[in-house]
């Protein structure tokens, strides 16, 4: 990068940094950190384990934001210094590209986390994929989406546990349910709920014709002890059956798989990840509570949207298209964000889509 290009970049990023600084409010952030630190020093702090854990999570989150801000400021100061030194030492510009790249990557990370400020955003999440219309094509598409989310989880260092895995008869998967654990797992992935449409030349068609197929994705926050969802046992039908194993994991040879049907909502949850029937039942109940909690969130949003005369984006709507023939284009129909780098998207590069969704979502709900 030459000196003129560096100056142009600095002029472009500095106003955005100032905006971010104002949103972050460092004085308030430091005050919050100090207040939480004092709470951890109290002699009775550990008497309530759940509360202590929540406070530590909040404290670590605030410290992380402060550290990211300080790193950004340091990158910016270094770029300013390089610009000044480059008058007499042009070689100093050699470091500017790497520093600018690091700055931009960290800036987008912090910007995204500041958009994740709803109560449930910090929670773990349960992500389900269900094949739709399209037969074999849909089963294969569901498996492709499953791989995409696995790659995303690896990139963001989320722990992934398969709760239920139903293979297709010949290829792909009929459905899969996974638990993703990590800070902001739900906040990052809530944008993925909806119908995902694939257009490509089919590898299963002898004529190699162009096919369109669909799969649905549902993302719900994992229920924690702080969120109270009560279940009436009379509303539940619990069935136990022989487990078929979970997608290549060691096959469970006991009748430990559990299927819970919530009669009022007709929601059916299956879990066969654990060898213990009791553990599978507990996990299935947790997933059911998460689904019911998500329904309540959607009802609440629908009422707000109705009052504000807004149309609701439901889980049944098509949210994104992945076109791989006759051209390559992945497009989100809510935000209009699109990219021609389909391979990167299928390898878990979803951050630009997520950031565009969060901006769209916040803007839509602040109108």
pLDDT of 228 over the 80 cut: no
Closest by Cα among 116, 49, 117, 126 to 293: 126
Output 58-62 pairs: Cβ under 8 A, ≥24 positions apart. Answer: 59/33, 61/122, 61/183, 62/29, 62/32, 62/33, 62/36
79 shares its domain with 162: no
96 shares its domain with 191: no
pLDDT at 300: 61
Residue 58 to residue 276: CA distance in whole angstroms: 34
Per-residue pLDDT of 26-60, as tens digits, reads 999 999 999 999 999 998 998 888 788 889 888 99
Q: pTM above 0.85? A: no
Domain CATH number, residue 343:
3.30.70.1660
The residue range of the domain holding 346 is: 125-225+307-365
Pick from 115, 149, 168: which residue ends a domain? 115
190 shares its domain with 330: yes
162 shares its domain with 51: no
Pick from 62, 81, 115: which residue ends a domain? 115
144 shares its domain with 111: no
Domain CATH number, residue 32:
1.20.58.410
Range in 56-70, 225-239, 328-342, 351-365 with the lowest mean pLDDT: 225-239
Number of H helices, E strands in the chain: 9, 11
Q: Assign 165 to helix, strand or coil.
A: strand
Total tally of structural domains belonging to the chain: 2
């Amino acid at each position: 990068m030459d000196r003129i290009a560096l100056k142009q970049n600095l002029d472009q990023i500095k106003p955005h940094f100032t905006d971010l600084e104002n949103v972050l409010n460092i004085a308030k952030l430091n005050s919050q950190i100090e207040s939480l630190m004092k709470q951890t020093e109290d002699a009775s702090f550990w008497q309530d384990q759940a509360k202590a854990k929540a406070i530590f999570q909040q404290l670590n989150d605030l410290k992380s934001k402060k550290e990211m801000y300080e790193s950004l400021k340091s990158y910016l100061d270094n770029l300013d210094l390089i610009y000044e030194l480059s008058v007499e030492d042009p070689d100093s510009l050699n470091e500017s590209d790497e520093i600018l790249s690091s700055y931009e990557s960290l800036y987008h990370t912090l910007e995204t986390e500041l958009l994740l400020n709803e109560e449930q955003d910090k929670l773990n999440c349960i992500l389900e994929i269900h094949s739709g219309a399209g037969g074999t094509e849909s089963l294969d598409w569901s498996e492709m989406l499953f791989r995409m989310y696995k790659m995303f989880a690896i990139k963001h260092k989320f722990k992934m546990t398969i709760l239920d895995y139903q293979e297709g008869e010949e290829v792909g998967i009929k459905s899969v349910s996974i638990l993703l654990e990590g800070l902001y797992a739900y906040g990052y992935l809530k944008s993925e709920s909806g119908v995902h449409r694939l257009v490509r030349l089919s590898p299963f068609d002898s004529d190699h014709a162009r096919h369109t197929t669909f799969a649905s994705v549902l993302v719900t926050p994992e229920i924690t002890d702080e969120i109270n969802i009560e279940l009436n046992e009379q509303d539940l039908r619990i069935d136990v059956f022989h487990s078929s194993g979970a997608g290549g994991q060691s096959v469970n040879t006991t009748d430990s798989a559990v299927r819970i049907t919530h009669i009022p909502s007709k929601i059916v949850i299956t879990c066969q990840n654990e060898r213990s029937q009791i553990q599978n039942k507990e996990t299935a109940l947790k997933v059911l509570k998460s689904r019911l909690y998500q329904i309540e969130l959607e009802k609440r949003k629908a009422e707000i949207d109705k009052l504000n005369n807004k149309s609701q984006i439901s889980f049944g709507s098509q949210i994104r298209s992945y076109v791989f023939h006759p051209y390559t284009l992945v497009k989100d129909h809510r935000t209009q964000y699109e990219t021609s780098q389909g391979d990167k998207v299928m390898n878990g590069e979803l951050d630009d889509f997520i950031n565009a969704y969060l901006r769209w979502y916040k803007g839509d709900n602040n109108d």
